[in-house]
Amino acid sequence: MFNRPRLLLKSLAILVGILAVGCSSDPFAGKVQIRYMAWGNPEQMALEERLCDEFNQKNPDVHVSFLKVPAAEYGLKMMLMLASHSAPDVMRVDHYNFPRLVKKGYFHDLTDLAAQDPTFHREDFFPQAIQECLYNDKLYGLNVLFGGVLIYYNKSMFREAGLEDPAELAKNGNWTWERFRDSAMRMSQKGPDGRYTRFGFGAPSSGSTFPVLACAIWGYGGDMLDPKLQHAVFDQPGSVKAFQMLADFRWKDHCSPTQAQGENSLYTFESGKLGMVFDFMGMTPRYRKVIHKFDWDVCPVPSGPFGHTTLCKGNQLVMDAETKHPKEAWRFERFITSQSTEQELYVDLRRCFPTRKAMAYSKAYLQTSKPPFNNWAFVDAIEHSRPLPINDRWSEWTNAFNSEIDNLIAGRERDAGVVLKRAKQKVDKVLADEEGF
Amino acid sequence: MATSHRKRMVDQPGFWGFLFICPWLIGFLCFTAGPMLTSFWLSFHKYDLVSIQNVGVENYRRLFTEDPLFWKALKNTIFYALVSVPLGIIGSLSIALLLNQNVRGQKLFRVCFYLPSLVPAVASALVWQWVFNSDNGILNTMLRMVGITGPQWLQDERATPWAFALMSLWGVGGGRMVIFLAGLQNISDSYYEAAKIDGASPWRCFRCVTMPLLSPVMFFNLILGVIGAFQIFTSAYVITGGGPNHASLYYALYLFQNAFEYFKFGKASAMAWVLFCILLCLTLIQFWTSKRWVYYEGGDK
């Protein structure tokens, strides 16, 4: 049988050996270590992992380790890491969270690093992409996964209904909200049991139409907050008109699924049950992959009396204010936002929109062999785009706002003017409230 | 000297006891008592993870006098508890009574009724979302068959509180049912035999034998049920996020939003302590009334 003490000794020796080997051969000794944190779907994570590897190969003096965090936990985890002074050197942050975090002084000011970098020229980028990264006129991030909202439309459905192509209408300036409503109503169809088999259009999520349909508000000359983002202006006639129209699309015109109908993805664009869908540019790879049964393309959002303006939003690549290696971290940030990376991610794979103007206007971007073919519509969207009114209390005031318009969306209340007046009062109260209580 | 001192320690009656519960004790002090004390301290401060400032009882004052959502959340939660606790106890007891019958396949039935409680809360919440779909959901489809137009369960603020109360039925086959079942099996058959000889009907048997003997178990389940109902969170967080129009904004959900979405840790801590006091009061009231209806076999205690 086994000799117990001897066995114990042997295993102890092996353990010590393993520990010794593990400690002595640090593969990254002498290198500057950078930690990078991001979230995303598996494809996005694989891409970023590859970019990190590539960077490590090209930069023998630096080692970047990639920390992948599930999307659902990301915001909270980042917040706690920042608060406990253990944040990674470089992080990707969703713009919804950027204003409130940058205000707390968590991020490194990149203005000087950018000024000292001879390859960084602000004028190369779309101004909206830079604007999102500014705080008190200083640069605190580089924009990634940038893009705007536009319309994906089912070309086959338009053709069957005998409707004019919306992209062609947009080129001539005739793609208006009236035209949009008419097209959507003519594409909506009921089955023999009285239920709708398809709708003219839908917003991407089953829930609130806000903020994806901010383009309606802007198109009618309305707005959400004042320019300083300090109080609500939903009671402006333009905003009321836009919200009334959006509610009527569901409850009067029946050309868009109601919240209950749209739940559980019963009507999706990819299943051919929606004629049009408002969504971000990043949906392109998914639609390319799953849609084979009908022709589809993209077109700008409809124009109102005040023209057409859509929203744009990105993520920011930020640096921890306490990083010990800002220069190396900057090099890494520049690498994953470099021209060649943007070429691959946004021009070839169409994950989002390039932040560089030259790239968006290039032939490679505008002419593709796969749908969507109206690539000018992406460029048009960014040219006519505005960032959302995201301030440091975005989550709190949108929560108050959404709860107030819930009844409008659910069809229990029909008068947008009354609802928005109440919403304004509530949001103003949130914004005026002393912070932290 | 040292050895004799040591010997004395070892000989202390509590030494081994404390030694063995040491892991739990350390865990409790570090991860339960510590955070509780911290949250008590935080509830008198304004804290947003960056700066901290003593504000006295301002957090409590604001909660009670200036925050309509606090009252709304409390009201929602009390409604939920009032509906779901009796519903849950009646449901669990009914299933336990059925599963206590001597029929073939008894074990299989027990497994089947217990299964739903093994499903992760998030997954079951998503299933319920389907059930309550007002257009295509199974519930409204069935109502339509008998000629009733069901409400928009999750979009209409009048229906949503009831939807969540109904959803709580998912848990009736879980731990509470098992405790009832164990309680039922503890009741000696001789009581029933005696009652039968006296000509008692099954209902009389249940009312005069089962209920009194089951009352301690009922009491236990009632206390845990009330505490559990006040802590409802996952289903509301997953399905509605508090909507529509805050109809499903429950206390724990609002507390979570304040802490981890708005970073108002002082306010959230104050809310936690208010909840603690409410639950403490409710439990004490239940203990006080229990003297009248809880019967302990073989003694006053």
Residues A94 and A133: their CA atoms lie apart, in Å, by: 11
Per-residue confidence at B136, pLDDT binned at 50, 70, 90? Answer: confident
| Cβ pair A282, A312 in contact under 8 A | no
Interface list for chain B against chain A, based on CB atoms closer than 8 Å = 46-51, 53, 58-59, 62, 129-130, 133-136, 152, 154-157, 242-246, 257, 260-264, 266-267
Residue A319 has φ and ψ, to the nearest 5°, of -115, 140
A180: its two tokens: 């949009």
Q: Is residue B3 part of a domain?
A: no
- Best of B60, B76, B155 to disrupt the A interface (most A CBs within 10 Å) is B155
A303: its two tokens: 């124009």
What integer best gives the mean pLDDT of chain A? 90
The predicted-structure confidence for A236-246, as pLDDT tens digits, reads as follows 999 999 999 98
Answer yes or no: is pLDDT of B8 > 80. Answer: no
Give the C-alpha distances (Å, rounded to integers) separating B29 from B17, B229, B271, B276: 17, 26, 22, 18
Q: Which residue of A has its CA nearest to B43?
A: A437
Q: What is the pLDDT of residue A406?
A: 83
Mean pLDDT of A378-390: 94
The predicted-structure confidence for A125-140, as pLDDT tens digits, reads as follows 999 999 999 999 999 9
Answer yes or no: is pLDDT of A21 > 60. Answer: no
| ipTM value > 0.95 | no
Q: What is the pLDDT of residue A206?
A: 42
Per-residue confidence at B1, pLDDT binned at 50, 70, 90? Answer: very low
| Cβ pair B242, A398 in contact under 8 A | no
Answer yes or no: is pLDDT of A357 > 90. Answer: yes
Q: What is the pLDDT of residue B301?
A: 46
Per-residue confidence at B277, pLDDT binned at 50, 70, 90? Answer: very high
Q: Is residue B81 part of a domain?
A: yes
The pLDDT > 70 percentage for chain A reads 92
Q: What is the pLDDT of residue B231?
A: 94
Q: What is the pLDDT of residue A424?
A: 95
Q: Which residue of A has its CA nearest to B156?
A: A410
Q: Provide, as residue numbers in chain A, all residues whose Cβ is less than 8 Å from the Cβ of B257.
A: 399
Residues A121 and A114: their CA atoms lie apart, in Å, by: 8
Q: Provide, as residue numbers in chain B, all residues whose Cβ is less than 8 Å from the Cβ of A77.
A: none
Cβ B50–A412 below 8 Å, yes or no? no
Q: What is the pLDDT of residue A365?
A: 93
Q: Is residue B33 part of a domain?
A: no
B10: its two tokens: 């070892």
A and B: number of Cβ contacts within 8 A? 81
Q: What is the pLDDT of residue A194?
A: 83
Mean pLDDT of A42-71: 94
Answer yes or no: is pLDDT of A305 > 90. Answer: yes
The predicted-structure confidence for A322-353, as pLDDT tens digits, reads as follows 999 999 999 999 999 999 999 998 998 899 99
Least confident of A1-15, A149-163, B113-127: A1-15
pLDDT higher for A407 or B60? B60
Q: Is residue B214 part of a domain?
A: yes
Q: What is the pLDDT of residue A23?
A: 54
| Cβ pair A276, A249 in contact under 8 A | no
Q: Which residue of A has its CA nearest to B246?
A: A403
Per-residue confidence at A111, pLDDT binned at 50, 70, 90? Answer: very high
Answer yes or no: is pLDDT of A390 > 50. Answer: yes
Q: What is the pLDDT of residue A257?
A: 87
User: Which amino acid is present at A288?
Assistant: R
Q: Is residue B30 part of a domain?
A: no
Query: How many domains does chain B divide into?
Result: 1
Q: What is the pLDDT of residue A230?
A: 93
Beta bridge partners of A36: A66, A90
Answer yes or no: is pLDDT of A9 > 90. Answer: no
The pLDDT > 90 percentage for chain A reads 74
User: Is pTM beyond 0.90 here?
Assistant: no
The predicted-structure confidence for A86-105, as pLDDT tens digits, reads as follows 999 999 999 999 999 999 99
Per-residue confidence at A19, pLDDT binned at 50, 70, 90? Answer: low
Instruction: Give the closest-approach CA distance of B245 to chain A in angstroms.
Output: 4
Mean pLDDT of B264-272: 95
Mean pLDDT of B177-183: 94
Give the C-alpha distances (Å, rounded to integers) separating A306 from A310, A389, B253: 12, 19, 41
Q: Is residue B289 part of a domain?
A: yes
Q: Is residue B99 part of a domain?
A: yes
Residue A2 has φ and ψ, to the nearest 5°, of -70, 145
Which CATH number is B68's domain given?
1.10.3720.10
Q: Which domain holds residue B146?
A: 59-293
Q: Is residue B141 part of a domain?
A: yes
Per-residue confidence at A4, pLDDT binned at 50, 70, 90? Answer: low
Q: What is the pLDDT of residue B6?
A: 59
Q: What is the pLDDT of residue A239?
A: 94
